[in-house]
Amino acid sequence: METREEQMNLIPISVVNNSENGSFSLASISHSSSKEAFYKVIRSWASKKFMTGCVILLPITVTFYITWWFIHFVDGFFSPIYKHLGINIFGLGFVTSIAFIFVVGVFMSSWLGASVLSLGEWLIRKMPFISYIYSASKQISAAISPDQKSKAFKEVAIIKHPRIGEYAFGFITSTVILHGSSGSEELHCVYVPSNHLYIGDIFLISSNDILRPNLSVREGIEIVISGGMSVPRILTTLDALANEAQDTAGLQNSITSQVDGS
């Protein structure tokens, strides 16, 4: 049986030991938590820098890859001829293809080239299936042709589609007159691409329901091909620009009249 004095001596010792163990456990927990926080900061920093590198290198890599593929593709048209002649110079077929395309462009711009092209188109139209493919591809190329006087895409249009509150980019291709019992109405044929530029829907819309932004046809094509990434931050309709120009002209005239009167 232990005496009261021995019990009194044991109590502070146990308390001291518990307090020491508690401080040791708290120190170990704080040390492990600080280590985890440090690792989290390092992982976050490393992941951000890695994603930054991917964002920078991805477009550069894609550009070089497509350019390299295009060079090999175009080089393959004339390189077999040079290999047959015993000339193995990389890039010579590519240079020849580019020169050939340039010569074709110069030749087709002349009267003789236009006559040859008309004859070739007449022969193609006589072919049942090929004529549709050629007609569709020619209309697409005519939309971005710099020498085309009457482009297939007249203007860039913004229409309310598919429901109220949503808008879609399109291109005005032609104008039609719709005769009905109530009279005649002028409608614009608007082509709205649904899969890049080659597949889309056609809508006949009144001129009052079309918004015409301050975009060229080439800028509209870039917006469609880029998936909307090249859309300007601020779009202004041509009507708003015309009203602003009229207001500015009126303000200048009033200022001029006041100055002359004084």
Domain boundaries, the chain: 155-238
Q: Supply the pLDDT for residue 187.
A: 92
pLDDT tens by residue, 162-191: 777 888 889 998 888 988 888 888 899 998
Percent of the chain with pLDDT over 90: 2
Tokens 């992982």 appear where? 43
Asked whether the beta carbons of 157 and 172 are under 8 A apart, the reply is yes
Distance CA 136, CA 253 (A): 51
pLDDT tens by residue, 126-155: 888 888 888 777 776 766 665 555 567 888
Region label for 20, one of left (φ > 0), alpha (ψ between -120 and 50) or beta (otherwise): alpha
pLDDT tens by residue, 5-61: 444 444 444 444 444 444 445 556 566 677 777 788 888 888 888 888 888 888 889
CA atoms in the 13 A half-sphere facing the CB of 85: 9
